[in-house]
Structure 1
Amino acid sequence: MNAKDTQVFISRIIGLPIVDAAGDQVGRVKDVVYHLRVNTLAPRVRGLVVELFARQRIFVPMIRVHNISANQVAILGQVDTRRFTKRDTEYLVAADLFDRAVSRDRPTRIFDVSMVQVRNREWELRSVALRSKSGVSRFGFGGRSTTEVVRWSEVSDLVMLKGRTAAHIVAELSDMKPADVAKELHDLDPERRAAVVAALDDETLAEALEELPEDEQIELISALDTERAADVLGEMDPDDAADLIRDLPSDVAEDLLQRMEPDEASDVRRLLLYEEFTAGGMMTPEPVILDTDATVADALARCREEYLTPALASMVFVCRPPVETPSGRYIGACHVQQLLRAAPTLLVATMLDDSLEPLSPSSPLAQVSRFFATYNLVVAPVVNDRGQLIGAVTVDDVLDHMLPDDWRGEHMDEPAAEVSNAAY
């Protein structure tokens, strides 16, 4: 069920097997996790509760869900196998909603809820299936049951009215851009901020953390327990995580790195080898890298991947295998505008920008900024002395390092409308 607006009723996926990319079963669906949004906005589905064969229940975010069919749920990528723990602002469809009584003109209960995909791997709860009893029959037995399916917003008991509790604030933040979430956190009093931070999911908190001033980043990450702090750092862009870790005491930094997922920690450790104000210290280790036999169609498919920022998607890099950093021998780069004008079957390796020399990881900030200005770029390759592509610097990383240290703090103190207009 990949098509948008195709409703999936939760009762029909409870108990379905979860299979990985290889087709192997890893567990079964036990419930669906959601969080509320204010007023009549439909709740956002966060993920699935999955029971492994060892009876342990884990959380699988919806971004990992590739396909839902009548027989199974297919997932992609790695999942966190730690035991699932529900946060205060999270709810479970089956456990919290099924058989729940709701206010109607006759006894009514919820017997099912549907979800629908509204964007790529982003789901919302859509409809509520209700079962009502029409009263007692003339023979004294239970009356006839009737069913109806209504929109979530039509069930007043389920709608979260706007308020300022931690749960309401988290609901409000769910539809905000990271910069606006950061401003909300900045403006909260310490006690309320702590409650909201505890309730936010790791990805939202990581994105907001990247938008906060450095001193507030340190204060916030230091207030988290070590396991949660490591999880949040793992959700951050590696270059942002490295910048934050540099500012922490060395023993705390090493403890956090030890607790992060090995792949995520490895990316951050490689960035920590370089000085902060160099190309190596500013780069991201996850640009779009293609093999020498990749076609224009292959390249455009990669540039459409949801996790890519517009800057990273503006250029692809061709390398000999392996095609992850540090790559095999770096061959060259191609602009996405050129890809859009070319035939889909053309090899990307035949249309590289020969005038674009890569940056060295030791290139200082002044040289990097001149490089961007000279070539009118928003992303640039970084290649080491062995000819391997080790990352790419984006223009936002350059600006972050060129602006005054307190620029984010000044940004936070502007009115919300001005902040939004300035940032977007």
Structure 2
Amino acid sequence: MTGSLTRVFAARLAGTSVFDPQGDMVGRVRDVVGLLSPRGPIRVIGLVVEVPGRRRVFVPMTRVTSVDTGQVLTTGLVNMRRFEQRGTETLLLAELLDRTVELADGSGSATVEDLGLELNRARDWRLTKLFVRRGEAAKGLSGRLRRRGETMTIDVDGVAGGVLGLASPDLDQGATNLLAAFEELKAADLAEVIHELTPKRRLEVAAALDDERLADVLEELPEDDQVEILSALAGDRAAHVLEEMQPDDAADLLSELPPEQAERLLALMEPDDADPVRRLLAYDDYTAGGLMTSDPVVLAPDATIAEALAHVRRSELSVPMATAVYVCRPPLETPTGRFLGTAHLQRLLREPPQTPLGQILDTDIDPLSPGETLQGVTRQLAAYNLVSMPVVDEDGHLLGAVTADDVLDHLLPEDWRDTTEEVFSRTPGTEADRD
């Protein structure tokens, strides 16, 4: 590793680009894998690297040729088998950051804010140093560091119990520094990180997220994780998180809870947020009514194209939802006045900005009824090459819209987020490097 760093702090590796020998980017570092041993320091055996497709793979340190500022260089091919943590392994960022430890000199407790890795003469990476702040880990909502207490860098042996004391699963632990390391991650990618954690650590990280961020992450997690996290939250906080979720996602999550628990949370929500969720819960999961969101973009026929483009430009809109504006008579909140037609994004881009929406409506495609089956919805989307369609009741009122991503969520197997399908670019000896 001539010319590369021989000392590095683990949190600074999070998000670092990983390159192959040809200079092509392989992915980004998401964690560092350490091997626990009661007889010595934690040996760093590899990196968890996120490659395209949100797959997390293991890259052994024996294939890392250089660790430098802003980049990690590797040699040889990368085994694309999905990373699975073994019993003797620890994820340094996910599991050791934010731990409250007792100092070996008896001077009190401290919070681990970073982990110092060092390359020794035998060319092995070891966890040798801890950057700590005196006092317990910051708790509560999040992610903002509370900069109180003296900071210092100590040897791992400076923790009471050494390696075993540091790695004890019973230690108190916040998540402020972990979330800071992954601050740039999109909700779907952070959900992937959280899903891979132990149940205890998953709840600690969820507790440290603010309501809006946690709502975004919950929408991307498997149902079991969603139920586990929501059930662990205090009632008021759980209700606030549900209010931040899209109504259809909140309804899907509540439908997985016992009816009495779901009703209790609905009662704690603001009525304006709870009402659309209640309406969605009235429909079967595998119908247009159960699939739809009750909050599409709805405008009146005299609204201009310029106004419509301003609405679909909002960052919080999903891509499928931003492809169409539904034009209705007032009232414009679902269930609306009479549905008039759809103004598709491509048409909006081709017409003068001051043109009223009523002049460019697509009325050729019949909207869906709330009782339409999943198969029927899928056929309609495919037949007309659409990514969203309106759902209208028998009196012509717009109830919501079904998008292609919601359909896919129901067509794919329930455990599609946990898929272990393997795509290999094999390198002999890669798995042996973890033994």
The interval holding the TM-score normalised by the smaller chain is 0.5 to 0.7
Amino acid at match of 2:206: V
Q: 1:87 is matched with which residue: 133, 141, 153? A: 141
Note the C-alpha offset of 1:191: 2.3
After superposition, where does 1:232-271 map in structure 2 within 5 Å? Answer: 232-271=241-280
Q: 1:345 is matched with which residue: 350, 354, 379? A: 354
Query: In structure 1, the residue corresponding to 2:319 is in which secondary structure?
Result: coil
- Alignment-derived partner of residue 386 in structure 2: 377
Task: Give yes or no for contact 1:173–1:181 (8 Å, CA) kept in 2.
Answer: yes
Note the C-alpha offset of 1:195: 1.7
Task: Give yes or no for contact 1:279–1:360 (8 Å, CA) kept in 2.
Answer: yes
Amino acid at match of 2:363: D
Structure 1 residues 40, 370: CA separation in 2 closer, same or farther (over 3 Å shift)? closer
Structure 1 residues 376, 88: CA separation in 2 closer, same or farther (over 3 Å shift)? closer
- Alignment-derived partner of residue 198 in structure 1: 207
Task: Give yes or no for contact 1:213–1:406 (8 Å, CA) kept in 2.
Answer: yes
Amino acid at match of 1:347: P
User: CA separation in 1, counterparts of 2:203 and 2:224?
Assistant: 16
Query: In structure 2, the residue corresponding to 1:316 is in which secondary structure?
Result: strand
Structure 1 unaligned segments of length 5 or more: list them.
1-37, 42-84, 104-163, 416-424
Amino acid at match of 2:310: A
For the aligned residue pairs, the C-alpha RMSD in angstroms reads 2.6
After superposition, where does 1:20-419 map in structure 2 within 5 Å? Answer: 39=12, 87=141, 89-91=143-145, 166-410=175-419
Note the C-alpha offset of 1:86: 5.7
- Deviation string 1:102-151 (CA, Å, 9 cap, x unpaired) is 99xxxxxxxxxxxxxxxxxxxxxxxxxxxxxxxxxxxxxxxxxxxxxxxx
- Deviation string 1:291-319 (CA, Å, 9 cap, x unpaired) is 11111111111111222111111011110
Moved over 3 A (4+): 38-41, 85-89, 100-103
User: CA separation in 1, counterparts of 2:379 and 2:143?
Assistant: 47
Higher relative contact order (CA 8 A, sep 6+): 2
- Deviation string 1:261-284 (CA, Å, 9 cap, x unpaired) is 211111100101111111111111
Structure 1 residues 342, 281: CA separation in 2 closer, same or farther (over 3 Å shift)? same
Task: Give yes or no for contact 1:285–1:390 (8 Å, CA) kept in 2.
Answer: yes
Structure 1 residues 89, 296: CA separation in 2 closer, same or farther (over 3 Å shift)? closer
Amino acid at match of 2:352: A
Note the C-alpha offset of 1:233: 1.3
Amino acid at match of 1:318: V
TM-score between both structures, scaled by the size of structure 1: 0.60
Query: In structure 2, the residue corresponding to 1:368 is in which secondary structure?
Result: helix
- Deviation string 1:347-388 (CA, Å, 9 cap, x unpaired) is 111111122110001101000000000011111100001110
Note the C-alpha offset of 1:236: 1.2
Amino acid at match of 1:402: L
Note the C-alpha offset of 1:88: 6.7
Structure 1 residues 244, 336: CA separation in 2 closer, same or farther (over 3 Å shift)? same
Query: In structure 1, the residue corresponding to 2:273 is in which secondary structure?
Result: helix
User: CA separation in 2, counterparts of 1:322 and 1:40?
Assistant: 52
Amino acid at match of 1:284: T
User: CA separation in 1, counterparts of 2:200 and 2:372?
Assistant: 43
Structure 1 residues 353, 166: CA separation in 2 closer, same or farther (over 3 Å shift)? same
Query: In structure 2, the residue corresponding to 1:371 is in which secondary structure?
Result: helix
Amino acid at match of 2:315: E
Query: In structure 2, the residue corresponding to 1:381 is in which secondary structure?
Result: strand
Note the C-alpha offset of 1:89: 3.8
User: CA separation in 2, counterparts of 1:414 and 1:188?
Assistant: 21
Q: Identity percentage over the alignment?
A: 50
User: CA separation in 2, counterparts of 1:86 and 1:251?
Assistant: 28
Task: Give yes or no for contact 1:315–1:379 (8 Å, CA) kept in 2.
Answer: yes
Amino acid at match of 2:195: H
- Deviation string 1:191-231 (CA, Å, 9 cap, x unpaired) is 22222111111112111111111122111211112111111
Structure 1 residues 286, 88: CA separation in 2 closer, same or farther (over 3 Å shift)? closer
User: CA separation in 1, counterparts of 2:234 and 2:408?
Assistant: 31
Structure 1 residues 298, 88: CA separation in 2 closer, same or farther (over 3 Å shift)? closer
Q: Would you say how many aligned residue pairs link Structure 1 and Structure 2?
A: 270
User: CA separation in 2, counterparts of 1:168 and 1:396?
Assistant: 33
Amino acid at match of 1:87: L
Note the C-alpha offset of 1:39: 4.6
Note the C-alpha offset of 1:101: 11
Task: Give yes or no for contact 1:212–1:409 (8 Å, CA) kept in 2.
Answer: no
Amino acid at match of 2:175: A
- Alignment-derived partner of residue 60 in structure 2: none
- Deviation string 1:26-82 (CA, Å, 9 cap, x unpaired) is xxxxxxxxxxxx6599xxxxxxxxxxxxxxxxxxxxxxxxxxxxxxxxxxxxxxxxx
Q: Judge which range, 207-216 or 248-257, deviates more.
A: 207-216
User: CA separation in 1, counterparts of 2:343 and 2:141?
Assistant: 45
Note the C-alpha offset of 1:165: 6.5
Query: In structure 1, the residue corresponding to 2:326 is in which secondary structure?
Result: strand
User: CA separation in 2, counterparts of 1:231 and 1:183?
Assistant: 23
Amino acid at match of 1:261: E
Task: Give yes or no for contact 1:361–1:383 (8 Å, CA) kept in 2.
Answer: yes
